[in-house]
Structure 1
Amino acid sequence: MILKVDDENRVRTLTLNRPDALNAFNEALYEATAAALTSAAADPDVAVVLLTGAGRAFSAGNDLKEMQARITDPEMANQGSHFTTMIEALTHFPKPLVCAVNGVGVGIGATILGYADLVFMSSMARLKCPFTSLGVAPEAASSYLMPQLIGRQNAAWLLMSSEWVDADEARSMGLAWKVCEPDQLIAQARSYAETLASRPIPSLIAVKQSMVEPIRSEIAAATERENAHFAELLGGQANAAALADFTAKKQS
């Protein structure tokens, strides 16, 4: 089971469950997460979704083996990706989304936080957006959401540098709301999630819609721009070299 689903006190916990791959998103996990969000949105007994990861990572981002296969296999390249399906589900998710970052968050494991209403991070967690080190463009509308969330200069560093950001730095940027001791992370995140879940669901939805509706068109426009840049850069010289280096390290 690549995505665990648990319900308690009107909070649905979604746990990314590919710990051996550091919860990297492959097509199956993108699809499963999108379906789980859509299901939670429609379920009258679910008020809040809490997203976390199994094992020592939150998510290592996009599965680079699948990225490489997409470059070399024309059939895969023409199939599209459930990444888009998940981003659509996140963009239109009408209820509070709480993320508990239990370990490293790389790529989509960091940019997904732009869709969260509350972010809790383990003091041992770190984030990285490795787009420039992979020779590609940002994704998940992060080029729009991150400047909105953490300011232009913080976003520029996060998206351009491919450097790690630790939990305290993430909190000072405004990317994380609270930093917790590792063994207290889920309990604290759940406590706040249950406080939200105790409120009337129609009211929660009204608040979130009022906050998010004005920027949905901007999210869609940013996604379109990013996708165009990503398609242009995928398989290019810098990207091919980065993926070849990744493969060589895996084989050594």
Structure 2
Amino acid sequence: MPLNFNQTMTLEITQKENLGIIRFNRPEAYNSFTREMSFALIDALKKFNEDKTVRAVLLTGNGKAFCAGQDLKEAVEDNGLSVEQMVEEHYNPIVRLIRKLEKPVIAAVNGVAAGAGANIAFACDIAVATKSAAFIQAFSKIGLVPDSGGTFFLPRLVGFQKASALMMLGDKVTAEEAAQMNMIYKVFEDDVFAEESEKLAIKMSQMPTKALAYTKHLLNQSFTNDLDAQLDQEKEWQAKSAASKDSIEGIQAFVEKRKPEFTGE
């Protein structure tokens, strides 16, 4: 039975096999965030996390941009929300959901990713981009600091000095440069980007979901654990993985020299 999502035109939500697909759908505004779109994304991520038929989530955009961050028109409205409210009620919940989702989230960056749009992509488990895409830490250009987890994830991806320069100078980074500095996983040529990014996401949706979720949990813990604590956590979560149906199937398939049939259990 299909899940009921908050009705909105700001997102396009579909499912292909075991893959949940979320497309930002404000192309006329470079898919910039409004309050409506933020809440719709939060709702979609929660619903896909609950749906056992969805085993991976693909986040991408319609039009020429992935996401240009906050819609500044909404930010300057009379009696509008404060920036603090936007961060607390929109962006922080989105980033926390992405990291806590018990299945992989793939960002397919189809165009410019700026501000919160870029940092949400970096919070995903895997980010790929089309060759013509670009990433911009646009906050300093309007006198703000990076949010949406940018100061947490970007230094871990590219290093302290590089992240500091990108955030303070607001340089535009091409997709190829982003891949070279380990900001993203891979770049696809524009004419095959949609096909290849979806193929990657579908592949992940057919993998042993629990093992991927446990891997994600361990990666999250690695940000604060020391080596001994992390080794103990690996032992604990390896035991849970080994008890899963998919692990039993994977080992049996290996022994029998056949392709495993994973179910996400």
Give the structure-1-normalised TM-score: 0.80
Q: Distance in 2 between matches of 1:79 and 1:161?
A: 23
SS of the counterpart of 1:51?
strand
Q: Distance in 2 between matches of 1:202 and 1:130?
A: 36
Structure 2 match to 1:65:
73
2:120 and 2:149 in contact (8 A); partners too = no
Q: Distance in 2 between matches of 1:208 and 1:179?
A: 22
Measure how far apart 1:87 and its partner are.
Answer: 2.6
Q: Distance in 1 between matches of 2:136 and 2:162?
A: 13
Structure 2 match to 1:181:
189
Q: Distance in 1 between matches of 2:188 and 2:23?
A: 18
1:58 and 1:102 in contact (8 A); partners too = yes
Q: Distance in 2 between matches of 1:79 and 1:136?
A: 11
Give the structure-2-normalised TM-score: 0.76
Q: Do the aligned partners of residues 79 and 206 (structure 1) sit closer, same or farther apart at CA in structure 2, a change above 3 Å counting?
A: closer
Q: Distance in 2 between matches of 1:146 and 1:94?
A: 22
Q: Distance in 1 between matches of 2:48 and 2:180?
A: 31
Measure how far apart 1:51 and its partner are.
Answer: 0.5
CA-based RMSD of the aligned residues comes to 1.9
1:131 and 1:159 in contact (8 A); partners too = yes
Q: Distance in 1 between matches of 2:53 and 2:20?
A: 9
Structure 2 match to 1:151:
159
Higher relative contact order (CA 8 A, sep 6+): 1
**How high is the sequence identity, in percent, across the aligned residues?**
29
* 1:120 lines up with 2:128 in the alignment: yes
Q: Do the aligned partners of residues 136 and 190 (structure 1) sit closer, same or farther apart at CA in structure 2, a change above 3 Å counting?
A: same
Larger radius of gyration: 2
Q: Distance in 2 between matches of 1:29 and 1:100?
A: 18
What letter corresponds to residue 45 of structure 1 in structure 2? T
Unaligned stretches of 5+ residues in structure 2:
1-8, 226-265
**Equivalent of residue 77 in structure 1, options 82, 93, 117:** 82
Measure how far apart 1:2 and its partner are.
Answer: 0.9
1:30 and 1:85 in contact (8 A); partners too = no
* 1:170 lines up with 2:178 in the alignment: yes
Structure 1 match to 2:104:
96
SS of the counterpart of 1:80?
helix
2:65 and 2:113 in contact (8 A); partners too = yes
Measure how far apart 1:167 and its partner are.
Answer: 0.9
Unaligned stretches of 5+ residues in structure 1:
218-252
Count of aligned pairs: 214
Structure 1 match to 2:221:
213
Q: Do the aligned partners of residues 8 and 147 (structure 1) sit closer, same or farther apart at CA in structure 2, a change above 3 Å counting?
A: same
